[in-house]
Amino acid sequence: MSKKTIKLATAFIALLLCVAIVGEISAKAPHTETVNSSDDKNVSDSYWASTEKTMGVKSELKPNDAITFSIPMGEKVTLDGIPLNTASDRTHDFDFMRVGNKTMMVGEIGLTETEVKNVTKMVLQSGFQITALHNHLLRLSPHILWMHIHGYGDSTDMAKKIRSITDYVNGKPPAKSEESFLNEGINTTKLDKIFGEKGSTEGGDYGFDIPRADKIRMNGYVLSPAMDVSTLIHFQPIGNSNAAVIGELVLEENEVEPVMQTLSNKGIEITALHSHMITEQPRLFYLHCWATGNATEIASIMREALNETNSTIGS
């Protein structure tokens, strides 16, 4: 065998050894797929365990390593004589997302007018930022205002402060959501077809959670759709195939006018238009609306309005 042949054979053997070593290292490397994988879901479960225990309510894991909590309001609320279900805008909602080795939180707390002053002090003393204070709906009894807050830090520490605030508002023990969804003639199959996705039953309502299709950033991070950047539409059955419908549409600046025109022209009452956050990019506006009537007809109008937005909706 020539020296040249021996050198080539040696090089080939060395290459095979390198490939084998690299393969073994790769096989032992930690799992790093997206949060939608089951392995990462377990990691998230472990990461959020202390936070969930502190919040004292069941959580819901969301994409992009986020988690959400809804604490039912203790206050009974009616609108136009209709007692609102828990899912019909009667929860304090808090969304957490991992950002590096810290956690970002956005939340909203439902308050009566007499609670605003003291809760403002509590929120600021807890180190949270208040980013908005406003109504969502009109003619509520009692009148409810929504305080939107933002926090950054250790998730369990923030959860302790949140629970102190919501315990003050609700009283102890916290209220529980016990409403079951009774469709009262509402054709949920038709609603699913209109919105192009399967709705969910929670807190007595049939609801849709529709994320925006674009990336929303805040303080340098891309927000999970769960971080208050998804349109929410809830149908509360009121009998004879009718529903009380509450919408919260998340819009960019150029979408506000066409969505308002569509809803208003079709008889949907617009009850508020405002921001929820301060530093998000692009800038978002939240349009709240209310309607009662045939659930399928209202759903078709809401879908027409959604078609004016850059949202992730089915065909």
Over its C-alpha atoms, the chain yields an Rg (Å, rounded) of 24
Rounded to an integer, what distance in angstroms lies between the CA atom of residue 21 and that of residue 170?
A: 60
- Pick the residue with more confidence: 159 or 21? 159
pLDDT of residue 288: 98
DSSP H/E element including 48 = helix 38-55
With a pLDDT cut of 90, the percent of the chain lying above it is: 73
Asked whether the predicted pLDDT for residue 56 surpasses 70, the reply is: yes
Distance CA 312, CA 212 (A): 6
Structure tokens belonging to residue 192: 């699913």
Min mean pLDDT across 18-27, 29-38, 78-87, 265-274 is at 29-38
CA 4 – CA 274 distance, rounded (Å): 77
Instruction: State the burial class of residue 178 (Cβ atoms within 10 Å of its Cβ: 0-12, 13-18, 19+).
Output: exposed
- Residue that the structure tokens 């069941």 belong to: 58
pLDDT at 7: 46
Structure tokens at 70: 């809804």
Q: Using pLDDT thresholds of 50, 70 and 90, give the confidence band for residue 43.
A: very low
How far is C-alpha 243 from the chain's CA centre? 23
Structure token digits, residue 26: 């790769």
Domain ranges in the chain are 38-306
Position 202 scores a pLDDT of 85
* Distances from the Cα of 95 to the Cα of 52, 143, 146, 266, 292, angstroms: 12, 24, 15, 33, 29
Which pLDDT tens digit goes with each residue over 89-101? 999 999 999 998 8
For range 197-224, the mean pLDDT: 94
What pLDDT is attached to residue 144?
97
**Per-residue pLDDT at 262 exceeds 80:** yes
Q: What is the mean pLDDT of the chain?
A: 86
Predicted confidence at residue 63, as pLDDT, reads 81
Structure token digits, residue 105: 């939180």
Q: What is the DSSP letter of 205?
A: E
Confidence tier at 164 by pLDDT (50, 70, 90): very high
The region of weakest confidence among 57-61, 87-91, 209-213, 222-226 is 57-61
